[in-house]
Amino acid sequence: MTSSPILRTAALQKSLALAPVRRSPATTPFAGVLAQTHAKSVSHTTSAASSSLTPAGVNLRPHSASETVAASAGASSASGATSHHPLGIASRPRSALETVAASTDPMDSVPFQTEITAAAHKYGVDPALLAGLVKQESNFNPSARSGVGAKGLTQLMDATARGLGVSDPFDPAQSLEAGAKFLGGLLKQFHGDQSLALAAYNAGPVAVQKYGGIPPYQETQRYVPKVLGYAAQFSRIWANS
């Protein structure tokens, strides 16, 4: 593939401009409780508490299952923000978002997986590599738009998109098709070297040729390993599919 003019420069690679539970009110002593019954209750409680204390005053009587549950519920009600470890170590409870994230395996699939696979195979690109590029470019947001005008999932500039036959850069299928075609051409140009192809996608093939490798642009230096890192993670998905 012959060298093409710089269509994406480092300057054009953008940062995307893209209750508490109420505790039940404490009940007050029942007005009609007999004094004798109250005295017996106090005496019984004091005796039970004393029998479970060591001389040092440390309660060693193990809690029953119902007492443990009740104590835990009471602590939650009282704090509204702190849960307790069985050993008594306070820990921060998970938020709803953390609970969902913990119960979902993020490596099960990626957005637009079918479209990414089809476009990647059409142009001889590793689907995981294309997915990694999309993750870095737009975080899988088809409506992403940078401050300098790069658009869509693969963040192509208008001139590049038109050259690749894109009529709507925000259409996921068109964006992925064009991005895969562009990346596939760069892989051929740089003899399958993924690092150089990615650097050219970010900074332009002329810059890669000029410097004989990844250009010394801070953004490009960060961009390449990030995409490759995402690709390594996503490769597990296609390996299991």
By annotation, the residues acting in catalysis are 137
**CA 128 → CA 26, 30, 50, 229, distances in Å?**
60, 70, 67, 10
What residue has token string 């539970």? 21
**CA 130 → CA 65, 185, 196, 212, 235, distances in Å?**
53, 13, 14, 24, 10
Q: Tokens in use for 26?
A: 């404490």
Residues 6 or more apart whose Cβ sits within 8 Å of residue 72: 83, 84
Q: Are 129 and 194 in contact (CB under 8 A)?
A: yes
End-to-end CA separation in angstroms for the chain: 32
